[in-house]
Amino acid sequence: MPDLRFAGIGMTSARTRDRLVQRLREQGITNLAVLDRIRNVPRHIFVDEALASRAYEDTALPIGFGQTISQPYIVARMTEALLEGGPLFNVLEVGTGCGYQTAVLAPLVQKLYTIERIEPLVQRAKQRIKELGIRNVRFRHGDGSLGWKAHAPYDGILVTAAPLVVPDALLQQLKVGGRLIVPVGPEGQQELVRITRKEQGFHRQSLGPVAFVPLLSGIT
């Protein structure tokens, strides 16, 4: 990478990242492409400089506006779950946040559309993705619970905040055979689910308990 700050030093160095990847392996992440993205995406540029030394801890960190950057394990788990079942060409991410999940996922799919309700986060994520040279992402400032109908149907949809129930708009924008990864439920009772659209109806699979910020409607 042309910018030396991406490489990191000390607590943001390659050795620190390798230790994180090893922890993720021990927790059950097996997709080598996903592990490679976790190793190579400079997570420290997606958080405030004061938190950079903690960027490769397996923990969520604040990014402002009441939002967080998800812990690396969750990013890896959701990405792996989305990719299981075959290649993805047209993918929607709901909840861009700081852009870290976007940066991990984008090179693993053909086209990625990402939507975020908080406008300053959209601008920040755009800048980071541009700096990393990732060119297959389109951004939108909008209400993620409504999806992005113009580019539907999607092979995959990944949601990074928890609705109480899965928005019908997202289900309808999923193509037959497509996969939706979404945390669902109230605080303290959330589970990560994978929903696959069938010719008739949807198949729902639980991927375990999680903790996310709520998915809110509207824009700011």
Positions annotated as catalytic residues are 70
Asked if 54 and 43 touch (Cβ cutoff 8 Å), the reply is no
Residue 65 main-chain phi, psi, to 5 deg? 60, 25
Quick check: helix, strand or coil at residue 215? coil
Quick check: helix, strand or coil at residue 35? helix
What is the enclosing helix (H) or strand (E) of 30? none
The 10 Å Cβ neighbour count of residue 54 is 14
Question: Which tokens is 59 given?
Answer: 């923990």
Quick check: helix, strand or coil at residue 122? helix
Tell me if the bond preceding 153 is cis, omega within 30° of 0. Answer: yes
Question: Which tokens is 165 given?
Answer: 């129930």
According to DSSP, residue 98 is labeled: T
Residue 159 main-chain phi, psi, to 5 deg? -115, 130
